[in-house]
Structure 1
């Protein structure tokens, strides 16, 4: 179909952006999805001159830019804050570590990120939201539904002011539906939209990998939220067909450990049915980028990224504009 194939740079932020541009071009990508960490995109420095320099750098390598991603800071907006967040938040967001201060500074940074997107000529920011109730997921000690209701109310209280600013800027926020977020499957995504009053600036970054290993119908997700899919990640995952020693919760084992029930895989090497995904995206007339988020602890990342680009480009196809049996009928 010719949808642009891009590479998310979040897993490559240990490399300077220019090095990443050269590699992405060599791998065969049309563009990048820039992460807001490393030197790839520094929000606190991103005035118009800085943004113009980034665009010029991508242009030097004949790469396009369609979106930017702020997964790390956005996680801090409505999470219960602990030492883990210190490891992902810039020092100026962490500050003295006071939880409410971290959340407020993170919210202000997400608004600034929308402004940076506008300076770059973009209309979409991808990221997380955090969740005040994820830690209650297993419902023990028993969780009164009132606590869940309050959690969605708190989420809305923190995010609606951000989204109002995005709407003024003409920028949309695409939540990557993902465990640890306020929306992590179809039903929680519905409730998230309801909590926000179906805010026009809020939608989803579709990533089938996070749904597949939960046994959520990841193709149905596309149809359920056809008007809210603002961006697409192409990422694969494998899960076991036989009982294992570490179940869906992972047993505190690191990614890549083969004792786990599931692990992310290079695109095309897991169990995600990308054929059905492309057909569904055609059905909803999604024409945006297909962005490879490459994660595979067991494979060389450069070989994997190059292979993934080729796989996604091959997998993508345009819908038919004729019925195949029309030619068999009399006029």
Structure 2
């Protein structure tokens, strides 16, 4: 397996600087952030501007990565593809197509996104919206030799307080979604979300092995003293994700059993990328702290891959 990271961790640092630093310190691959320059998402950045991306720029980027001995694991654009506001939905869907185009120019096989949710509708109704919206998006990606994948973050409170914002957070939903999608549609598997939701993050690896295209390395710390007083619905006091009883951490600073998780991935034949998604508030806030955090995550994960 190769260890990389999502470039959101370095903000809008120029691609050249990110690639040079990453190669120097021992990363092997990068998950490239491709949000619009102007967007409403937290934890987002624009490492590559797909609005201006063409074959000539792709050749420049490929040469840069080759020079430094790195690869691109995927392009990342996690936004609400089922937005209740149809104008916003159309903009997100269209930008996703531009990300797919950029991946095609680069020869990158994977693009990561969210399904999202129409917050005015039930989960069951959103599954129907999903089929309507994603059937053409998946077909478009396939026509460009690109596979779409979804991160399993529930995005609680994203569009409305206390409500799930991304209908791709549990094995039950994955089964239903994979029942109606081709094999080219898969998961960017993040164990941190499964853990605080009470889902067995080790067990899902075997069942969904063929749909695991990419893996996010993010840990999670549960504040049990707060959980015991507030219950899972507690909202008094917040962290960056709108909750008070779980905090996302760098690998090794939370409760994920990385040895068992990576061993399970190896058992089912996964041998691609483990990509650090740095949302750790202790090691965030500025570029130098983020770099230190990424290095700690890299050194920790090297023991297992």
* TM norm structure 1: 0.78
User: Residue 88 of structure 2 aligns to a residue in which SS?
Assistant: helix
Cross-structure match for 1:266:
250
Closer, same or farther: CA 302–168 of 1 in aligned 2, 3 Å: same
Aligned-residue Cα RMSD (Å) equals: 2.2
Cross-structure match for 2:68:
61
CA-CA distance at 1:250 after TM superposition: 6.0
2:279 to 295, 302, 311: 295
Q: Distance in 2 between matches of 1:282 and 1:290?
A: 12
CA-CA distance at 1:275 after TM superposition: 1.1
CA-CA distance at 1:252 after TM superposition: 6.8
Is contact 1:185–1:211 with CA below 8 Å preserved after alignment? yes
**More displaced 10-residue stretch of structure 1: 58-67 or 275-284:** 58-67
Structure 2 gaps, min length 5? 36-44, 155-164, 284-288
Q: Distance in 2 between matches of 1:237 and 1:305?
A: 15
Cross-structure match for 2:293:
304
Is contact 2:9–2:290 with CA below 8 Å preserved after alignment? no
Answer with 1 or 2: which has the greater Rg.
1
Structure 1 gaps, min length 5? 81-98, 137-146, 317-331
Is contact 2:109–2:147 with CA below 8 Å preserved after alignment? yes
Is contact 2:10–2:290 with CA below 8 Å preserved after alignment? no
**Correspondence 1:112-127 to 2 at 5 A:** 112-127=98-113
- Pairing 1:154–2:129 present: yes
User: Residue 174 of structure 1 aligns to a residue in which SS?
Assistant: strand
1:237 to 210, 213, 220: 220
CA-CA distance at 1:308 after TM superposition: 0.6
Q: How many residues align?
A: 280
**Correspondence 1:39-78 to 2 at 5 A:** 39-72=46-79, 75=80, 77-78=81-82
Cross-structure match for 1:31:
29
Q: Distance in 1 between matches of 2:75 and 2:254?
A: 26
Closer, same or farther: CA 58–153 of 1 in aligned 2, 3 Å: same
Is contact 1:7–1:293 with CA below 8 Å preserved after alignment? yes
- Pairing 1:109–2:115 present: no
- Pairing 1:9–2:7 present: yes
Is contact 1:17–1:39 with CA below 8 Å preserved after alignment? no
- Pairing 1:19–2:17 present: yes
CA-CA distance at 1:14 after TM superposition: 2.9
- Per-residue CA shift, 1:140-181, capped at 9, x if unaligned? xxxxxxx44322101110111100111222211110011121
CA-CA distance at 1:108 after TM superposition: 2.2
Q: Distance in 2 between matches of 1:170 and 1:202?
A: 12
CA-CA distance at 1:6 after TM superposition: 0.9
Is contact 1:167–1:200 with CA below 8 Å preserved after alignment? no
CA-CA distance at 1:47 after TM superposition: 0.5
Q: Distance in 1 between matches of 2:146 and 2:234?
A: 36
